[in-house]
Structure formats: structure tokens, C-alpha cells
Amino acid sequence: MSIEVNNESTYDIDEAALQRLATYCLDAMRVHPDAEIALVLVDEAAMEQLHVQWMGEPGPTDVLSFPMDELRPGNDDIITPPGVLGDVVLCPQVAEVQAEGAGHSTMDELLYLTAHGILHLLGFDHAEPEEEKEMFSLQRDLIVGYTMSEKQRDTQ
């Protein structure tokens, strides 16, 4: 997998953890190993500009996804074709505020948002109640699986 992390924000982020999570998510979703994805971290001003430009909504948001080749998840029998999955843009400042409200670290929130953004790139949405249930359940499963894999990695 080609997973590029560009930290254009002023936050010091564990970029390797974001890469490991993205790799875990893409493997779990049976995405082709030659797929490409970019994770971009930006400050509030840049995120607000993107939010207004692409969503028509004021203020910065936590995560935006920009799909490219409209790849979809594979399954046990078929993986996706190779291609450019797209970009996930994250705003650490917004993530920090959300993390404080949720009672966990900013990094945990960024991991959660990264998984969320990747699912959007793969065509998942949460506009309807059933879609939301499916997407957030899958998101939880990915985070739990990633957390377990990290604990195993740390014990080796």
C-alpha cells in the first residue's frame, strides 16, 4: 500500500501510527495492496476553507474525505482493483476539542477520524439511520482490531 502522511499542521502527530491504522483498515477491507491513499493534517484555517469550498458549510470540521477512483471494499474472494483511493484530510485542532469532550487523547480521536475518513473513501456514508449503524459499527470493529494488533506488536 502506498500511504502518504502529510502533516501540514503545527501539531506533533505520530504519523507512523496513522500509517499503521490506514494499513490495517485497508487490509481488513480487502483493498488491493497497490492502492494509494493520502492522509493530510491541516490547521483550522485550511480546514475551514476546504469545508466551505466542498461542503458549503462554515467553520472548520474534523475530517473530510476526497475519493478518487471510487474503489469499494473487497471480500474474502475478491480484493479491489489497484487504484487511487483518495485523500483523508484531518484537523488536529478540531480533533483535540472533540477528544477532550470524549475523554480520550487527541491521537485516539485522530485514529478514529482516520478510520471514519477511509470508510467514506470506500463508499460508506451515515446520512440514513441504517447506513449510520453499518458505518459506525464497522468503524468500531476496525479501531478495536487495530488496537489489538498494536498491543500484539508492542509485546513482540
Nearest to 141 by CA among 13, 29, 39: 29
Distance in angstroms (rounded) separating the CA atoms of residues 75 and 32? 11
pLDDT (tens digit per residue) in 69-106: 989 999 889 888 899 999 999 999 999 999 999 999 99
Cell for 20? 499503521
pLDDT (tens digit per residue) in 122-145: 999 999 999 999 999 999 999 999
Distance in angstroms (rounded) separating the CA atoms of residues 148 and 131? 26
Distance in angstroms (rounded) separating the CA atoms of residues 90 and 37? 13
Distance in angstroms (rounded) separating the CA atoms of residues 71 and 87? 13
